[in-house]
Amino acid sequence: MRTLAVIGAGAKGIAIAAKARALAAAGLGPPRVVLVERGTPAGTWTGDQGYTSGLLPLGTPPEKDVGYPYPESWGAASGAVTEAMMAYTWPRHLIARGTYADWVDRGRLRPAHREWGEYLRAVGAACGAEIVAGEAASLDIEDGHWRLGLAGGGLIDAAGVVLTGPGPPTQVPGQPRGHPLVLDGRTFWQHAGDLGQRAGSICVVGSGETAAWIVITLAQQCHERSTIDVLTSRGVLYSRGESYDENRFYSDPGDWPRLAESHRREFLERTDRGVFSVQAEATLNKLHGFRTLAGRAVALEAGQRQVVVTIGYGEDRERVAYDLVIVAMGFNSRWFEGLLGGEAQRRLAAARAGDDLERLIDVNLAVTGLEPPLHLPVLAGLAQGPGFPNLSCLGLLSDRVLRRYVPLPETAPQLSERSYRA
């Protein structure tokens, strides 16, 4: 049986494992799915690994669970696949815990990240996800297969590899690691409990969802005489568009490739990148004690008592000293490039032929022209649909990936094999 290796037993990995189990139940022959996880499954959501306190609300409605939007990807077998996926829904999870009515009566609130992580782990257990403990440390191609090396030893051979996870926080030039006065979107949450004691000048760099919740937490917990500057390259904090017309592309990207590339890029800017959710906006609107500054953090110089931020806005440069700087500019979705060995790099470069990787993601969310397949849902937003990098259509994502390995029932609609380029 062929093996599909997924780096990360988080939302995407567990959704793929659940779908593979559902395909088996429906009589389709899925590959063996192996999830490689360096920490706790769904650990990003607990608060124990940074990234969140665990108590922040999920931005996405939980009804967009591991099977959503329950697409009919498997022809005559679609009904059986969906039936099998019903074992892994969010309502089913709450029913099993006896909290479904409570959740409905309270207005179907967004769960805390920690609760979402519990749901994912419950799905992983229910579908019998095969999880290998270890950190993916290297990835190369040998004899037509992926060879995934684990830190501390161990190899996994796979016909295909899926990369998941937000990646490490994006950095500003000069940003030191492990400095007590410089935190980031991951480490902030591991120190948030210590912030209430001292007044100080604080700079938050960034304007997305992570930055928004950091500002909210600071404004609620810091000493009342603290000042908080939020540095945003666009000069204004924007909230996400959440109209039906915007949301529908996240659930069902069928029409997405018909939009011109420039319009797809505009859509992603407007609804996804560097914007925050309406929940975060509603909370921010009630808060005082922070101000927005227009500019980019061009460089950081961290001393023992203060951190100097060089702020660039157009041609202007200004140096401002702060007592604490939190860099929350998002996460590096290209982190996987550091894993790739020589042969993988050579083949990836040949497949790209100088083009932008984001434009080359095919219907299976893999790099066009690269064999064996490397699935990069995190980069699939531009070419395939805005929901693939995040939690918006985990069921469709799983179908798109697994259809590369599962012989189609004759009646199933064929996926177009071309990648979409404007």
Ligand X SMILES: Cc1cc2nc3c(=O)[nH]c(=O)nc-3n(C[C@H](O)[C@H](O)[C@H](O)COP(=O)(O)OP(=O)(O)OC[C@H]3O[C@@H](n4cnc5c(N)ncnc54)[C@H](O)[C@@H]3O)c2cc1C
Torsion of CA 116, 117, 121, 124, to 10 degrees: 70
Provide the H-helix boundaries in 180-232.
188-191, 209-221
Q: Closest separation between CB of residue 166 and ligand X, Å?
A: 4
Q: Closest separation between CB of residue 236 and ligand X, Å?
A: 22
The rounded distance, in Å, linking the Cα atoms of 396 and 400 is 6
- Residue with Cβ nearer ligand X (74 or 188): 188
The gap from C-alpha 200 to its chain's centroid, in whole angstroms, comes to 32
**Which three-class secondary structure state does DSSP give residue 313?**
strand
Q: How many CA atoms lie within 13 A of 282 on its CB side?
A: 5
Comparing C-alpha atoms, which of 82, 42, 41, 38 is closest to residue 58? 42
Q: What is the H or E stretch that residue 399 is in?
A: helix 394-402
- Supply the DSSP symbol for 9: S
- Supply the DSSP symbol for 38: S
Q: Closest separation between CB of residue 272 and ligand X, Å?
A: 9
Q: Closest separation between CB of residue 285 and ligand X, Å?
A: 19
- Residue with Cβ nearer ligand X (45 or 74): 45
- Residue with Cβ nearer ligand X (71 or 165): 165
Q: Closest separation between CB of residue 413 and ligand X, Å?
A: 26
φ/ψ (deg, to 5) at 266: -60, -40
Do residues 29 and 405 make contact, with C-beta atoms less than 8 angstroms apart?
no
Q: Closest separation between CB of residue 39 and ligand X, Å?
A: 4
- Residue with Cβ nearer ligand X (7 or 204): 7
The rounded distance, in Å, linking the Cα atoms of 265 and 271 is 10
- Residue with Cβ nearer ligand X (77 or 218): 218
- Residue with Cβ nearer ligand X (257 or 330): 330
DSSP 140-186: EEETTEEEEEETTS-EEEESEEEE-S--SBP--TTPPSS-TTEEETT
- Residue with Cβ nearer ligand X (117 or 257): 117
Q: Closest separation between CB of residue 213 and ligand X, Å?
A: 8
**Which residues have C-beta within 8 Å of that of residue 16, sequence separation ≥ 6?**
4, 6, 33, 162, 397, 398, 401, 402
- Residue with Cβ nearer ligand X (52 or 175): 52
The gap from C-alpha 191 to its chain's centroid, in whole angstroms, comes to 22
Q: Closest separation between CB of residue 230 and ligand X, Å?
A: 18
The rounded distance, in Å, linking the Cα atoms of 275 and 267 is 12
The rounded distance, in Å, linking the Cα atoms of 17 and 34 is 8
Do residues 366 and 389 make contact, with C-beta atoms less than 8 angstroms apart?
no
Q: Closest separation between CB of residue 181 and ligand X, Å?
A: 22
- Residue with Cβ nearer ligand X (60 or 232): 60
- Residue with Cβ nearer ligand X (295 or 373): 373
The contacts found for 272-275 with CB under 8 angstroms, 24 or more apart, are: 272/240, 272/381, 272/386, 272/390, 273/208, 273/330, 274/206, 274/207, 274/208, 274/232, 274/233, 274/234, 274/238, 274/330, 275/207, 275/208, 275/209, 275/238, 275/239, 275/240
- Residue with Cβ nearer ligand X (57 or 200): 57
- Give the residue nearest to ligand X (CB): 10
Q: Closest separation between CB of residue 414 and ligand X, Å?
A: 27
Q: Closest separation between CB of residue 68 and ligand X, Å?
A: 11
Residues that bind ligand X (CB under 6 A): 7-13, 36-39, 42-44, 51-52, 58-60, 135-136, 164-166, 390-392
Q: Give ∠ CA 26-30-36 in degrees, rounded to 5.
A: 130
